[in-house]
A = this chain, B = another copy of it.
Amino acid sequence: MAVTLAELAERFQCRVRGRPETVITGVAALETAGPREITYVSDKRHLGLLPGSAAGAVILTAADAAHYSGTALISDNPRLCFARVAALLHPGAPAAPGVHPSAVVAAGAVIDPSAAIGPLAVIGAGARIGAGCVVGAGCVVGAGVGIGARSRLVSRVVVNDDCVIGADCVVHPGAVIGSDGFGYARDGERWVKVPQLGRVVIGDAVEIGANTTIDRGALGDTVIGDGVKLDNQIQIAHNVRIGEHTAMAGCVGVAGSAVIGRRCTVGGQAGILGHLEIADDVHVTAASLVADSITEPGEYSSTLKAEPAEAWRRKVVRLSQLDDLARRLKRLEKEISELSKENKT
């Protein structure tokens, strides 16, 4: 695909500085972009690379454009503009509508004629696959599952019976939606399984990373709000509710019945314990553990940072001595108070 900068500016409501007739055929990184490619800078630290760039054009804020003499597309939000330009120029290979002959589709599944069901996919009885959906190779879609228009299960995704996925979602390989929650009752030393009877209900425009797992509700549903973005290898337990537009980085774990607000961000490897509530606009730093409800927006952390091991181990030893330090401090306070009194008398 080839477009001029002028066309891009009109389509995405931004402004050309320099040569609007420049033809752009693709996007590339700042360091590698050639004369028919467009790139962007949104981080001040990369401004220094601009003079060396051979890019046909660079998407920049008006302020940053002052650091660059070449052709630029001026945008208030260069990264957003870049995302849209990239999606336009690199739409991905379209999937051919229809059901691959090797797929196994149960009687009673309703597949929109514009949907594409890939090789060796399995579609259960009563599943409803919306217009323009792609169910990639090796996916297993259970009985009664509903998938909204234009959603894409990339490949080898499992969606268990009766779960619901909205429109415009993307689910990456290895993700499992609707596995049983971890619910048991004790019977002496044994664990007796509590049947997991709820569903997973996923909104629109949700993206779910590779090998992420989302358990179905025990009773009632696990609910993922519109626009939520989950990275790879995240575990969402039963009956969790995640508010709209919340994003979680890789390897996060969320325990059962946690209720998470809207527009939150959760750093990689963070954990959220169960049966608690997190307000809207809460940001949890990487590898932190949220153990109590959070009622105020803001940043929360229990992150520790690696340092040279010897120094770290000394700190840990010091931590063990805190009881002792506190005791000695208390004794000193007493002694000084007595000395003080003696001095005054």
Point out residues on A near B: beta carbons under 8 Å: 27-29, 32, 39, 77, 79-80, 82-84, 86-87, 90, 92-93, 100, 102, 104, 118-120, 122, 136-138, 140, 143, 154-156, 158, 160-161, 170, 172-174, 176, 179-180, 182, 184-187, 189-195, 197, 205, 207, 209-211, 213, 215, 219-220, 227, 229, 231-233, 235, 237, 244-245, 247, 249-251, 253, 255, 262-263, 268-271, 273, 284-292, 298-310, 312-316, 318-323, 325-326, 328-329, 332-333, 335-336, 339-340, 342-343
CB<8 Å pairs between A and B, sample of 16: A77-B186, A79-B194, A86-B195, A90-B195, A104-B119, A158-B210, A184-B247, A215-B232, A233-B253, A250-B255, A268-B273, A284-B306, A299-B309, A300-B307, A302-B305, A302-B306
Tell whether, in the assembled complex, residue B286 and residue A287 are in contact, meaning their CB atoms are under 8 Å apart.
Answer: no
A119: chain B residues at CB < 8 Å are 104, 122
Give the contacting residue for A336; candidates B233, B235, B339; CB below 8 A. Answer: B339
Q: Name which residue of chain B comes closest to A315, CB basis.
A: B319
Residues of B within 8 A of A207 (CB): 180, 193
Cβ of A296 to closest chain B Cβ, rounded Å: 8
Decide: B219 and A232 in contact? CB cutoff 8 A.
no
Contact B160 A173 (CB under 8 A): yes
Q: Report chain B residues within 8 Å CB of A155.
A: 122, 140, 158, 160
